[in-house]
């Protein structure tokens, strides 16, 4: 009959979703509704694309190359691996960044670095991440002590406690908790 489909079909916020987010974040139902309205202003279809996500990163790092690092962060936030970030994924990530304890934040940093999502970070993954961080921060000095490969070798020596050539989530979190310099490099916002 004269029923028009909404452009934002499937992006309504139902009570069940609000209840779930209230239980899994530090936000009240009213705050969740406000976040949702803001999210829909930027993403009317309820989907934050990789391109949009990179554009947001570029606003924070306008002088530098944010693309590679933002792609790694996007992959982490896209929890169901469907190629976009929906509101629930967005708010859960924001909550960890804003309200999570230090272990949660370091766990999220680990997930960003674990490029193949196998629960381990190897030398190759860590080198890609360090290179992306250098690009993001505009670090041009990549020689000697600052060479990504040498930096990664030292990181692996400090964090790989069982010497299996991989860093587990526990090794990463505990190592960053023990070493402020490492934490500043690998999780500067924590």
**Could you tell me which of 50, 56, 55 has the C-alpha nearest to residue 81?**
50
**Could you tell me which of 17, 89, 16 has the C-alpha nearest to residue 48?**
89
Task: Say which CATH topology domain 15-62+77-99 has.
Answer: Recoverin; domain 1 (1.10.238)
Pick the CATH number of 102-190 from 1.10.580.10, 1.10.238.10, 2.30.40.10, 3.30.1330.120: 1.10.238.10
State residue 65's pLDDT score: 77
Tokens of 183: 């934490």
User: Considering the entire predicted model, what is its pTM?
Assistant: 0.76
Angle 103-21-77 (CA atoms, 0-180°, nearest 5)? Answer: 55
Distances (CA, A) of 149 to 105, 128, 155: 25, 10, 10
Question: What band does 82 get if pLDDT is binned at 50, 70 and 90?
Answer: very high
| Cβ within 8 Å of residue 18, ≥6 positions away | 29, 32, 33
Question: What band does 8 get if pLDDT is binned at 50, 70 and 90?
Answer: very low
């Amino acid at each position: 009959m004269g029923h028009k489909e909404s452009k934002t079909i499937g992006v309504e916020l139902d009570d069940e979703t609000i209840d779930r987010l209230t239980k899994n974040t530090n936000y009240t139902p009213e705050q969740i509704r406000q976040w949702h309205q803001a999210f829909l202003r930027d993403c009317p279809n309820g989907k934050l694309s990789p391109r949009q996500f990179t554009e947001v990163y570029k606003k924070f790092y306008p002088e530098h190359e944010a693309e590679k690092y933002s792609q790694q962060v996007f992959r982490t936030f896209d929890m169901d691996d469907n190629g976009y970030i929906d509101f629930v994924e967005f708010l859960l990530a924001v909550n960890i960044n804003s309200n999570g304890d230090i272990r949660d934040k370091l766990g999220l940093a680990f997930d960003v670095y674990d490029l193949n999502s196998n629960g381990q970070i190897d030398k190759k993954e860590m080198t890609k991440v360090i290179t992306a961080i250098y690009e993001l921060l505009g670090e041009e000095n990549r020689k000697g002590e600052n060479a990504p490969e040498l930096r990664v070798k030292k990181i692996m020596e400090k964090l790989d406690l069982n010497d299996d050539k991989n860093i587990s989530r526990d090794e990463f979190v505990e190592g960053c908790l023990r070493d402020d310099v490492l934490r500043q490099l690998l999780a500067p916002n924590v």
